[in-house]
Amino acid sequence: MRLFRSLYLLALLPLAVACETPDRTPLLDFVSNGTATTGDRTASAGDTIEVRVFAQTSDLGQDRSEDPPLKSLTITAQEQFYLDANRPEFRDTLTYYFRDKINSQSFSFTHRFSASTNAGRQTWVYTALDEAGNRATRRITVTVRPADSLAALHSYTVRLQPPLNRTNRAALAALRGFALPPHATDTLDYQRLTDILYVPTTAGPTLASPTSATASPNFRVQDWTVRRLTVLAVTSLSSTSFANITNETALTAAVTAAAPSASSTAPLAKGRVVAFRTADGNDGLINVSDISTTTGVLTLDVKVRRR
């Protein structure tokens, strides 16, 4: 009798499985045209990384007509890097980089960001959420190993794009050494990191503090919760003098001599050197090494104390 009952229950299993509610977890994946990143990778400091995210309701092959629509895509980032010889490992708190409402059955987004200029790892987490609360998550880790990670000064090159749209990287987090797009600075997490903004004018490119009124049209800084006060000054240093500054003492002396106090610079030319002091008192220098006459992209050499 017991054997018969067991066989009977086994016979019912296919019926039970057939009656189960299909999995409605959203599909989230990375796609590529041959250049976009789809998995963990090692990069050079400041490299441009492109990730193409595709999301849709439920999994492939299912009828999606009754699926709850996608609600949002969220991108978070966490950086673990080597700050200096005394603090060899530093982990940033989790920061919200991007949040966007969707309300559709499918969604795609091209995410371009700069690899860190610090030695360490950035972990990017992408989460798609639907109206029923179902979610799917994917992540990518980017590792950077610059040769001068424990040098007295944090030296790096960064390219800032004119803030013509919400995805151009036009804001600089000076100590972290990466460029941010305006949509990232909409989040409180990145407002706390942003030191300098690229503000184009008819007379030429300028650099500005988030507190400067000149930054309002491009970055909507008037709506920010946190606007870090960075003071700036154009110095009399040449590019050669900039290159010869290799320690904290020389850097501090150059910034002190420039006496930065303005919230924005005059229009800049190639070869000009700008001194700055961030809201937390960190000194730095920027050499304008190139200004593209076609795209308006600024190439900046930066030196800043590691604190």
Share the mean pLDDT of the chain: 86
Cross-strand partners of 206: 199
Give the residue carrying structure tokens 């959420």. 129
CA 48, 49, 52, 53 dihedral sign is negative
State in Å, rounded, how far the first CA of the chain is from the last one.
78
CA atoms within 13 A on the CB side of 206: 21
Confidence of residue 90 (pLDDT cuts 50, 70, 90): low
Domain 22-147 sits in CATH 3.40.50.9100: no
User: DSSP of 10-38, one letter per residue?
Assistant: HHHHHHHHHHSPPP-PPEEEEE-SSSS--
Residue 97: name the closest of 214, 220, 187, 24 by CA: 187
What three-state secondary structure class fits 254? helix
Task: For residue 170, count CB atoms less than 10 angstroms from its CB and return exposed for 0-12, middle for 13-18, buried for 19 or more.
Answer: buried
Six-digit token pair at 290? Answer: 């190139």
Domain spans in the chain, listed from the N-terminal domain onward: 22-147, 151-307
Sheet (strand 178-180) strand order: 178-180, 171-173, 196-201, 204-208
Six-digit token pair at 100? Answer: 């966007």
Residue of higher predicted confidence among 145 and 250: 250
CA 267, 159, 169, 284 dihedral sign is negative
Residue of higher predicted confidence among 203 and 65: 203
Confidence of residue 173 (pLDDT cuts 50, 70, 90): very high
Tens digit of each residue's pLDDT (9 = 90 or more) over 204-248: 999 999 999 888 777 888 888 999 999 999 999 999 999 999 999
Residue 76: name the closest of 93, 46, 92, 98 by CA: 98
Residue 109: name the closest of 73, 134, 162, 133 by CA: 73
User: DSSP of 189-219, one letter per residue?
Assistant: HHHTT--EEEEEETTEEEEE-TT-GGGHHHH
Six-digit token pair at 39? Answer: 């998995």
Confidence of residue 21 (pLDDT cuts 50, 70, 90): low
What three-state secondary structure class fits 6? helix
Tens digit of each residue's pLDDT (9 = 90 or more) over 255-305: 999 999 999 999 999 999 999 999 999 999 999 999 999 999 999 999 998
Q: Give the separation between CA 83 and CA 171, rounded to whole angstroms.
A: 21
Dmax over Cα atoms in the chain, in whole Å?
A: 98
Q: Strands 27-31 and 120-130: what pairing?
A: unpaired
Six-digit token pair at 80? Answer: 């673990």
* Helix boundaries (H) for 85-223: 188-191, 216-219
Q: Give the separation between CA 230 and CA 238, rounded to whole angstroms.
A: 22
